[in-house]
Amino acid sequence: MRILKHNQSWLLKRHDRIRAYTLIELMVVIAIVSILAAIAVPSFAAYRERAMIAVCITDIGTIGKEISAFAIASGRFPDTLAEAGWGGKMDPWGNPYQYLKIDGAAKSVKGKARKDRFLVPINTDFDLYSMGPDGLSVGPLTAPQSQDDIIRASDGSFIGRASHF
């Protein structure tokens, strides 16, 4: 009987030891989770940025079509986005969409139009763009502040990143 008690206590101790995790096992698990997170987080951030660009391109396409429909209905382009029904619309980065009426505008306004690398205006009817993730933009598309802008160019034939135009 005495032998049984001794064997039973050894079994209990052995059983308790099997159920517990060692510090090394926990460190291995934490290392594996950390490696997976280090791989996943940058991939997710890049995916999120591409998704925001896609939303912005879609918005600019929709707003551009609405502005063109307004021009067909009224015989002129709207003076502001609010007049076209898009006032206060924000891009995915929280900045308002930028609009500039070029067709029928004064010469001083035409000088503010977005320009390509040859300093030729990229649109003849109106400019519509987002200032991109950095929220900064200047007229020429070649400027560093304008490279991440999402633009409408060639009178609506191109909508995308300014760096790709």
The pairing of strands 98-101 and 158-161 is: unpaired
For 59-72, b/e burial (b = at least 16 CB within 10 A) is: bbeebbeebbebbe
Share above pLDDT 90 across residues of the chain, in percent, rounded to a whole number: 60
Q: What domains does the chain contain, in order, with CATH numbers? A: 2-164 (3.30.700.10)
**pTM of the entire predicted model:** 0.75
CA distance 64 to 70: 10
pLDDT, one tens digit per residue, over 131-155 is 999 999 888 898 999 999 999 999 9
